[in-house]
């Protein structure tokens, strides 16, 4: 893999500051049952880095002490972590809204039979990747047979009320196939809804469009194709500073599988610790360390303000 950090570390990206902390994004480890081309985590079946129970308890402690009301669980495929259900049970007891960022196919893996009912029991919101409604495009980006399995998983979720019952939100994530920006989110959502319902009777709530970040596997792919600078120019030339008020790092922190804290998941992948403290652990973090503090930025940050803006919950345009 090419080292993207050297290309993004020096940047003219505007200085931005944190607001109130509203969400903790927890990366439970890099193991995944897939190895997608665009993956900014470089996850895959051979990765062994996984969050342990001690770290989960340290996170629970932070949530409890600071009245955090939302957690967003990610990976890899977070469902493969043995403490995934433990984290959900504990944080639900503390009144948190919980999001599972699922790749869908993991729900069909051996040993995962009871998982969907567990997620339903705790009203866990599911945000699931489905980068296109065409089988060919999905399989090309995410691997052979992934589209067909994703459809099976969506049907399974609809069958227990996800995407239908208000308490069981099911949102999908679109990201472009390559080095272009996502199209209009609302338009794409309508296209997805119409196609998936007509063809498979599948229902879901929202579609979130997310820009591919020029880091990790996708960044390395761009470098090897000689397209890194062209893609960076696209992000910069289409950037809109109005989005700076809404970038997700203003209100969330990202925690790695060892419990270290970052301004966002992308910075975690670049090993860019929160400003001035390269390796601050969640067990040592006080919420006062964050409020109004500057955010560590780099050239990749243009990915969040290019075009219609991008965050883990879709574009920043509020449409
Ligand atoms: S993009 Fe998601 S599903 Fe694909 S390898 Fe990365 S973590 Fe796994
Ligand atoms: S990449 Fe991370 S730090 Fe940079 S603007 Fe986006 S969310 Fe904020």
Nearest CA to ligand 2 atom 7: 249
Closest ligand 2 atom to 250 CA: 8
CA 198 to ligand 2 centroid distance, Å: 37
Tell me what percent of the residues of the chain surpass a pLDDT of 90. Answer: 82
- Is 80 exceeded by the pLDDT of residue 37? no
CA 158 to ligand 2 centroid distance, Å: 33
Q: Which fold has domain 5-305?
A: TIM Barrel (3.20.20)
Nearest CA to ligand 1 atom 4: 36
CA 248 to ligand 2 centroid distance, Å: 7
Mean pLDDT for 57-81 is: 96
Residue 69's pLDDT is 93
Nearest CA to ligand 2 atom 2: 264
Residue 319's pLDDT is 55
Closest ligand 1 atom to 44 CA: 5
pLDDT tens, residue by residue, 279-288: 899 999 998 8
Tell me what the pLDDT averaged over the chain comes to.
93
pLDDT tens, residue by residue, 116-151: 999 999 999 999 988 778 888 777 777 788 899 999
Nearest CA to ligand 2 atom 1: 301
Mean pLDDT for 254-259 is: 97
pLDDT tens, residue by residue, 205-229: 999 999 999 998 889 989 999 999 9
CA 305 to ligand 2 centroid distance, Å: 9
- Which residue, among 148, 129, 147, has the nearest Cα to 78 in the 3D structure? 129
Mutate which of 235, 265, 290, 300 to test ligand 2's pocket (most atoms within 8 Å of Cβ)?
A: 300
CA distance 255 to 271: 11
- In this structure, which ligand is nearest to the CA of 33? 1
Nearest CA to ligand 1 atom 6: 39
Residue 108's pLDDT is 95
Nearest CA to ligand 2 atom 5: 301
> Which is more confidently placed, 1 or 166?
166
Residue 194's pLDDT is 96
pTM of the predicted model as reported, rounded to 2 decimal places: 0.94
Residue 298 in tokens: 């780099």
Closest ligand 1 atom to 41 CA: 6
Closest ligand 1 atom to 106 CA: 3
pLDDT tens, residue by residue, 95-123: 999 999 999 999 999 999 999 999 999 99
Spans of all domains in the chain: 5-305
Pocket of ligand 2 (CB under 6 A): 247-249, 263-264, 266-267, 295, 297, 300-301, 304
CA 264 to ligand 2 centroid distance, Å: 6
Residue 281's pLDDT is 95
Closest ligand 2 atom to 304 CA: 6
Nearest CA to ligand 1 atom 3: 103
CA 147 to ligand 1 centroid distance, Å: 14
């Amino acid at each position: 893999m090419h080292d993207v950090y050297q290309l993004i570390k020096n940047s003219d990206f505007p200085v931005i500051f944190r607001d109130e902390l509203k969400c903790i994004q927890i990366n439970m480890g890099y193991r995944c049952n897939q190895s997608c081309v665009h993956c900014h985590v470089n996850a895959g079946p051979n990765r062994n880095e996984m969050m342990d129970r001690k770290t989960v308890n340290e996170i629970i402690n932070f949530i409890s002490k600071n009245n955090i009301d939302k957690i967003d669980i990610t990976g890899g495929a977070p469902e493969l972590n043995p403490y995934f259900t433990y984290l959900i049970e504990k944080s639900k007891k503390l009144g948190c809204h919980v999001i599972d960022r699922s790749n869908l196919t993991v729900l069909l893996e051996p040993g995962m039979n009871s998982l969907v009912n567990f997620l339903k029991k705790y009203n866990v919101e599911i945000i699931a990747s489905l980068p296109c409604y065409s089988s060919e495009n999905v399989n090309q980006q995410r691997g052979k047979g992934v589209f067909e399995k994703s459809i099976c998983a969506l049907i399974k979720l609809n069958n227990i009320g996800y995407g239908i019952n208000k308490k069981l939100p099911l949102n999908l994530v679109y990201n472009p196939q390559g080095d272009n920006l996502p199209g209009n989110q609302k338009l794409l959502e309508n296209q997805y809804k119409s196609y998936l319902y007509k063809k498979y009777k599948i229902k879901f709530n929202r579609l979130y469009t997310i820009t591919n970040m020029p880091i990790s596997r996708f960044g390395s792919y761009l470098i090897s194709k000689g397209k890194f600078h062209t893609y960076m120019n696209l992000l910069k030339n289409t950037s809109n500073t109005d989005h700076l008020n809404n970038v997700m790092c203003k209100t969330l922190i990202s925690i790695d599988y060892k419990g270290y804290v970052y301004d966002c998941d992308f910075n975690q992948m670049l090993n860019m610790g929160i400003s001035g403290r390269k390796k601050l652990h969640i067990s040592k973090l006080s919420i006062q360390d964050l409020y109004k503090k500057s955010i560590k930025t780099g050239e990749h940050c243009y990915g969040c303000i290019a075009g219609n803006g991008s965050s883990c919950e879709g574009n920043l345009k509020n449409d």
